[in-house]
Amino acid sequence: MADDYANRDEQIEEEEEIDETGYKSVKDAVLFAIEISDSMLRPRPSSDPKKPTEESPATAALKSAYHLMQQRIISNPHDMIGILLYGTQASKFYDEDESSRGDLSYPNCYLLTDLDVPSAQEVKELRALAHGEGEAQDVLAASKERVSMANVLFCANQIFTSKAPNFLSRRLFIVTDNDDPHGDNKSLRSAATVRAKDLYDLGVVIELFPISQADHEFDSAKFYDDIIYKASPSDPDAPAYLSADAKAPTTTGDGISLLNTLLSSITSRSVPRRAHFSNMPLELGPDLKISVTGYLLFKRQAPARNSFIWLGGENPQIVKGVTTQIADDTARTVEKSEIKKAYKFGGDQISFTHDELKALRRFGDPVIRIIGFKPLSALPFWANVKHPFFIYPSDDDFVGSTRVFSALQQTLLKSRKAALVWLIARKNAGPILGTMVAGEEKLDEHGIQRVPPGMWIIPLPFADDVRQNPETTLNVAPEPLIDQMRCVVQQLQLPKAVYDPLKYPNPSLQWHYRILQALALDEDLPEKPEDKTLPRYRQIHKRAGDYVLSWADELEAQYVKTAAPGPKSTLVKRSAKDRASEAEDAASKPHKKVKVETDEQGMDDVVRAHYQKGSLSKLTVPVIKDFLTAHGRSAAGKKADLVERVEEYFDQK
C-alpha cells in the first residue's frame, strides 16, 4: 500500500495545477423527476398527418431522458443520471417496494433508474419503456392518491446525498404539466417549500421543464416560484437567471412538437456550466483591473481511449491501473521527493530539482493583461493554434466589472478592433499570447440564444510555432478560367451562407458509440453509418455539373496555351505516357471526365485491365501505390497487401 500512497502524492501535486475547486468532485449529476398522472399519460395526437405517431407528455419526457442519457455517455462519461417517476401507483426506492414490510418512506415515488453512471442495461430498459415496449409498462400508471411534493423533493435529496454526495453540480430536472400540485393545502405547500430549501442548501439546483395542458397555460407563479431559487449556491459566478430560458413550451395538442421542444430544452441544459478559470483579473491597464470568468465553448470531443478489461469475473470489468516508480539500479520504490528531472544534453543529463523546474515554467500569477489594441484585420486567418477561450465578466472580485467589460466589448465591436493579451490561465501554466475579440450575441429564429455575448481569446502562435510556406511554383490562373470556377462556387453555397456546426455531428465519434452501444446491448450491428459530413453528390452534380465541365474545357485550353511555348522544364520528370495522355486530352474531348491529374484515366484503365485478367501483381509497386492514393486508399505495406487492397476496391464496385 505504501507504493500506492507515494504515488498519490504525485497525483496531488499534479492535480494542484488543474483542480482549483477544492473538496468538490468536478462532476455533474442529473436526476429526472417525471410526474406520472392521467394528463401526463394522455397521448397527444400529431398535427402532422404524415407522422401519425401519438406522443404523451410522459413518453416525451422519457424519450428526452433516454436521449440525454445516450448523449452523456459520449460527452460526459463520468457524470451521473437517474430517473425518478412520481405520482405512480407503484413505489420503489432502493430496497423498498410495495411488498416490503412496514410503511413506505416515499409512497408513489418510483426510482426507475438509480442515480449513477448509466449501464448498458439501464439504457436498454429506459428505451423500452419510452417506446412502449417491455414489461415495465405497468409502472406507467397514475396513482389515485395525490403525491406529496415535499416527499418527492426529500426523496431526491436522499438520492443525491447517498449517490453523489460531493459533486460540484447536482441538478433535479422536474418534468410536469401540473402547475399547482397542492392547491390551497397550506401545510403541504409549506412542507414542499421547506424541502426545496433543503435541496438548495444541499447545493442541488432545481430546473423546471413545464408542459402546458391543452386548455391551460402552465403558470409557475402558482407553486414553482416558491421552490426554485435563482442560482446554484455552489456556483456563485452564475450571472442572473435568464428568464427567457425558463419559459414554458407553449405546447397545445401536438405530441411531436412537444417532444422536440422538450428535447431541445433539455439538450441545451445537458452540460452544467463549468468554468475553465474563474475570477481571473483582466488588466486593462496599470491600476485598472476587473474580474472575468473563462469558459471553453468549443472543445474537441474525442472517443474515450480503450481500456483494459478483465474477463475473469461474472461480467467484463474495467481494470484500474496503479503505477509505481522504481529505480532502475536496485528496483527499489522511489519516493516522489527523491525524483530529479533531467534533460539530455551533449550525451549527459542536466538535472534540475522539482522546484526549479516549476520555477522555470512560472511567469507570474494568473492574469489576462491587455498589451495594446490592433485592428481586427491584423489577425491573419492562419494565426491559430487551438480552440478559443470565452470570457464573461463577474463582479465577485471587482464591483463594476460587468460595466467596464461591457464598455470594452461594445467599443471593440464598434471600432472593429481586437486586443493583444498576455494570458496565464492557471497557476504554473505557461503564458499564452492571444488576440481578444468581441463577440456579439446571436439568437436563433425563436429568439433563443445561440452564441452568448462576451469576448473570445484566440491563442496566437509564437514565432517558434510558425512554419515556412513550402516552395511551390506560382501559376496564376487567367481570368476566363477564374470566371468559370466562380460559377461553380456560386452554385454551391451552404444554407444562409454560413457553417452551422450543429448540423454536422462527428461521424466517427457517433459511429464509435453506436457500435459500442450495439455490442453492450447485444443488438445487431448497424449496417451503414449516418455521415452528415459527406457532400451531397447528387446535388453537386445537378447544380454545378455543367459548370464544372465547361471549367474543365477552359482549363484544357488554358493549359495548352501556357504549356505550348518552349520546351518543358527539365526539372519535371515526365514519362512518355504522360505526354501522350496530355496530348490526347488536348486533342480530343471524348471522355468528359474532368481531370487535372495527367494520366489518371489511363492509369485506371490499365489497372482495371490487370484486375480483370487477374494479373495485378504484374504491375509495379509505384503504379499500384499511385492508384491507391488516387482513390483515397492507404498505400502502405508490402506489395501483396497493396494488390489485395486494389482487388478489394474493384470487388466493392
Partner 1 sequence: MADKEATVYIVDVGQSMGERRNGRSVTDLEWAMQYVWDRITGTVATGRKTAMMGVIGLRTDGTSNELEDDVHFSHISVLSNIKQFLMPDIRKLEEVIRPSETNKGDAISAIILAIQMIITHCKKLKWKRKIVLITNGRGRMSDENLGEIIKRIKEDNIELVVMGCDFDDPDYGFKEEAKDPRKDDNEALLRSLVEDCDGVYGTLEQAVSELDVPRVKVVKSMPSFKGYLQLGNPEDYETALRIPVERYYRTYVAKPPTASSFALRSEIPAEDQPESSETAAATQGNQSGDALTSVRTLYTYQVDDESAPGGKIDVERDDLAKGYEYGRTAVHISETDENITTLETYAALELVGFIQSDKYDRYMHMSTSNVIIAQRANDKAALALSSFIHALFELESYAVARLVMKENKPPVVVLLAPSIEPDYECLLEVQLPFAEDIRTYRFPPLDKVITVSGKVVTEHRNLPGDDLLDAMDKYVNSMELVDNDEDGDPVETMPIEDSFSPVVHRIDAAVRARAINPDEPVPAPSERLTKFSHPPEDLLEKSKQHLERLIDLADVKKVPPKAKGRKRTRETEKPLSGLDVDSLLHQEKRSKISPNNAIPEYKQRLAQVDDIEIVKEATKQMATIVEDQIRHSLADANYDRVIEALGTMRDELISYDEPAIYNDFLRKLKEDLLQEKLGGDRQELWWLIRRSKIGLIVQRESDQSKVTDAESKEFMSAK
Contact status, residue 448 vs residue 244, Cβ threshold 8 Å: yes
Q: Which of residues 214-233 bind partner 1 (CB under 8 A)?
A: 220-221, 224-230, 233
Produce one character per residue of 187-218: b if its CB has 16 or more CB atoms within 10 Å, e if not: ebbebbbebbeebbeebbbbbbbbbbbeeeeb
Q: What's the grid cell of residue 429?
A: 501554466
The nearest distance, CB 89 to partner 1, in angstroms, is 26
Nearest Cα to 63, choosing from 256, 268, 212? 256
Given 49, 52, 102, 347, the residue binding partner 1 (CB under 8 A):
347
Q: Does 631 bind partner 1 (CB under 8 A)?
A: yes
Give every CB contact of residue 649 below 8 A, 6+ residues apart in sequence: 628, 631, 633
Pairing of strands 277-285, 204-210: unpaired
Q: Does 378 bind partner 1 (CB under 8 A)?
A: yes
Q: Which residues pair with 40 in a beta bridge?
A: none
Given 142, 437, 607, 643, the residue binding partner 1 (CB under 8 A):
437
Given 384, 427, 611, 623, the residue binding partner 1 (CB under 8 A):
384
- For residue 613, give Cα distances in angstroms to 210, 311, 599, 623: 69, 48, 21, 17
**Of residues 82 and 255, the one with the C-beta less far from partner 1:** 82
For residue 150, report the phi and psi dihedrals to the nearest 5 degrees.
-60, -40
Given 47, 53, 137, 629, the residue binding partner 1 (CB under 8 A):
629
Q: Which of residues 23-62 bind partner 1 (CB under 8 A)?
A: 23-25
Contact status, residue 316 vs residue 309, Cβ threshold 8 Å: yes
Q: Which residue has the cell 433543503?
A: 198
Binding mask 172-211 for partner 1 (x = CB under 8 A): ------------------x--xx-xxxxxxxx--------
Given 66, 86, 110, 513, the residue binding partner 1 (CB under 8 A):
513
Given 49, 50, 135, 318, the residue binding partner 1 (CB under 8 A):
318
Q: Which of 24, 442, 542, 577 is catalytic?
A: 24
**Of residues 61 and 412, the one with the C-beta less far from partner 1:** 412
Q: Which of residues 450-469 bind partner 1 (CB under 8 A)?
A: 450-454, 456, 458, 460-469
Given 33, 36, 58, 73, the residue binding partner 1 (CB under 8 A):
73
Contact status, residue 206 vs residue 157, Cβ threshold 8 Å: no
Contact status, residue 36 vs residue 140, Cβ threshold 8 Å: yes
**Of residues 48 and 217, the one with the C-beta less far from partner 1:** 217
The nearest distance, CB 162 to partner 1, in angstroms, is 8
Q: Which of residues 560-579 bind partner 1 (CB under 8 A)?
A: 562-563, 571-573
For the purposes of burial, counting CB atoms within 10 Å of the CB of 562, is it exposed (0-12), middle (13-18) or buried (19 or more)?
exposed
**Of residues 141 and 326, the one with the C-beta less far from partner 1:** 326
Q: Does 653 bind partner 1 (CB under 8 A)?
A: yes
Give every CB contact of residue 509 below 8 A, 6+ residues apart in sequence: 74, 301, 302, 303
**Of residues 374 and 577, the one with the C-beta less far from partner 1:** 374
70 Cα distance to chain centroid: 13
Q: Does 356 bind partner 1 (CB under 8 A)?
A: yes
- State yes or no: is 24 an active-site residue: yes
The nearest distance, CB 459 to partner 1, in angstroms, is 9
Separation CA 235–CA 273 (nearest Å): 9
Binding mask 240-279 for partner 1 (x = CB under 8 A): xxxxxx---------------------xx--x-x------
Given 60, 152, 412, 425, the residue binding partner 1 (CB under 8 A):
412
Contact status, residue 28 vs residue 229, Cβ threshold 8 Å: no
SS3 138: helix
Binding mask 578-617 for partner 1 (x = CB under 8 A): -------------xxxxxxxx-x-----------------
State which H helix or E strand residue 33 sits in.
strand 25-35
Q: Which of residues 123-162 bind partner 1 (CB under 8 A)?
A: 123, 154, 157-158, 161-162
Provide the annotated active-site residues. Answer: 24
